[in-house]
Chain A
């Protein structure tokens, strides 16, 4: 449904006149006239706390449905898709990394990494031998093998973030979305983590939408965008 009609020139994400307001809120939270993330592009999106970054990612992931406008992700119009098909689309094509609390605490690190394959047969198929894929990604992300069998709750925050990155990358999704994945790490670990993440995305040819309020990281990306520049709402507290 998606991959078939997609060409290389298709943007990873393309928004036109997208509007969304939380139920009960006086104002729209997201109101973006025009925004594009090119295929293979690694973009840094920043904005202050409460400016709607996570909300925007929820829209792109199809967890939330826009009130108005058009939202094309990897060539597919998400606004037109039904709820279950948006869920399927997200499982198949988008890898997510959160700020923290990324992992299911009672599953092992390896199970956490393999989780997207359980929800998406397409990603399971692209990953091939899932055990091998997990081991390969863990190796690339500097995760010792003996760590993989441990429950996620027993890992350090830095290790958890790398497990989360591996989980976002398994089965080669075309778009990786990271919601402040480094804010729980110290500066040295932030750099190391970014190296790994950027390298893996480049190797997999995935587009990366990296959201943060920490502008120091911006220099390592292809492009840097301030949410306040594209979002028309005035709610953000700068």
Chain B
């Protein structure tokens, strides 16, 4: 008795082909959008939270925690103060500190930030799920005028080991003055990480000192020009750096060391836990993602409204069909089930189509996303939380289709055997 209803449903759906296909596409697109936004949200959050891993503390001049994170890790904005090298040295020899990587910021290369650091950077800085940095080509810097470039720098400027590059003083639009007299040689290209490292040019701390030998306070000292071949005669040991990344012997001491640094006398310092501050930052950025999610939920609602509209508008045309079925022995309940089956079928097919579309899309754009934005989007079918969303969509479709199904039920009770046009 139920079997024929399936047959009828399918035949009837096929009969109203175009409207059905359009409804299906609307549902599929809204499901794709919903899952896509949800997926991007999750991926963005996890790739954001993994911008820096394996580092226990970031130390810089005292300012806001978010500000310190922004300029030291994301290279956004500038530090208001530096940290003297003596403090860095003292921290490095702290008994709980396993390693310390200083970073010195302030210069740029064609829009990319220059990071002055030590070769330890490549040994200790990790991204993602504690992935160490890898070289796609070449190796770490060694000489004063060696440089390592991030994947995006290499890709967008076409650099390979051996390329000559010139650094600029300052960053962004103000990077007008060039250190043209002291060109650098690219020795290595890092593999892509999906973090700000990709957009960095890494040089030794000595290099930062060297290019600023004949500079003072942001401009060239008039009349003084020290050619590159003579810089070796000067003291290139760092005087001040912008911040330092610290790894501890034991994670359990992190709060004690942090307190110690934050309350130390003399030069005011700030130590932050990158994970905690990243979370803090995400709460600010994450609002956008939640708004996006709300928008895509509305899109799903629109898709379902389309489903109901299609069914309701087809009802008047199907009234005589329903009367015929009634005459052949279908009960009003059968008519109800017929309509419900139809919309659930459409919703399920729409969801399946949407998931496949999302899969194809994410497989298609994943390389581009990674290359252009460093966002790792893994093409996958559905995980558990997405199944919950899909079940929600189908449940909503079930709920929404009660309206047309109920109307059909009323019709089939009210019309008797009058076959209405």
Contacts and interface: CB of A to CB of B under 8 A. Distances in A.
B328 A115 contact: yes
A119 B417 CA distance: 17
A2 to B, nearest CB: 14
B331 interface: yes
Contacts of B326: 63, 87
Nearest to A153: B15
B80 interface: no
B419 A98 contact: yes
B1 interface: yes
A96 B327 contact: yes
B337 to A, nearest CB: 12
B21 to A, nearest CB: 15
A98 B285 CA distance: 66
Interface string A139-176: 00000000000000000000000000001000000000
Contact of B3 (A87, A98, A111, A118): A118
B14 interface: yes
A116 B12 CA distance: 17
Nearest to A179: B417
Given A118-B4, A179-B417, A96 B331 contact: no
Given A84-B331, A107-B11, A102 B324 contact: yes
Contacts of A63: 326-327, 416-417
B233 interface: no
A61 B417 contact: yes
Nearest to A103: B324
Contacts of B418: 54, 58
Contact of A119 (B11, B330, B332): B330
A119 B416 contact: no
Nearest to B13: A106
Contact of B15 (A92, A105, A120): A105
A74 interface: no
A47 to B, nearest CB: 15
Contact-size category for A: 20 to 34
A184 interface: no
Contact-size category for B: 20 to 34
B329 A106 contact: no
B288 to A, nearest CB: 48
Nearest to B7: A118
Given A102-B324, A119-B1, A92 B417 contact: no
A92 B329 contact: yes
Contacts of B15: 105-106
B333 interface: yes
SS class, residues of chain B in contact with chain A: helix
Interface in A91-109: 91-92, 96, 98-107
Contact of A57 (B330, B332, B333, B417): B417
B320 interface: yes
B330 A98 contact: no
B321 interface: yes
Interface string B49-75: 000000000000000000000000000
B421 interface: yes
A17 interface: no
Contacts of A116: 328-329
B339 to A, nearest CB: 15
A229 B334 CA distance: 37
Nearest to B420: A101
A83 interface: yes
A157 to B, nearest CB: 14
Contacts of A54: 416-418
A101 B4 contact: no
A119 B4 CA distance: 7
Interface in B169-192: none
Contacts of A99: 419
A194 to B, nearest CB: 21
B320 A55 contact: no
Contact of B11 (A55, A88, A102, A106): A106
Given A105-B15, A106-B14, A91 B419 contact: no
Contacts of A84: 331, 333
Interface of A: 54-55, 57-58, 61, 63-64, 83-84, 87-88, 90-92, 96, 98-107, 111, 115-116, 118-121, 167, 179
26 contacts: A54-B416, A54-B417, A54-B418, A57-B417, A58-B417, A58-B418, A63-B417, A64-B416, A83-B331, A84-B331, A87-B326, A87-B329, A87-B334, A88-B331, A90-B327, A90-B328, A96-B327, A96-B328, A96-B417, A98-B324, A101-B320, A101-B421, A104-B8, A105-B15, A107-B8, A116-B329
Given A58-B418, A99-B419, A115-B4, 6 more contacts: A58-B416, A87-B330, A101-B324, A103-B324, A106-B12, A118-B3
Nearest first, the 4 closest Cβ-Cβ pairs linking A and B are: A91-B329, A106-B15, A118-B4, A58-B416
Interface of B: 1, 3-4, 7-8, 11-12, 14-15, 320-321, 324-334, 416-419, 421
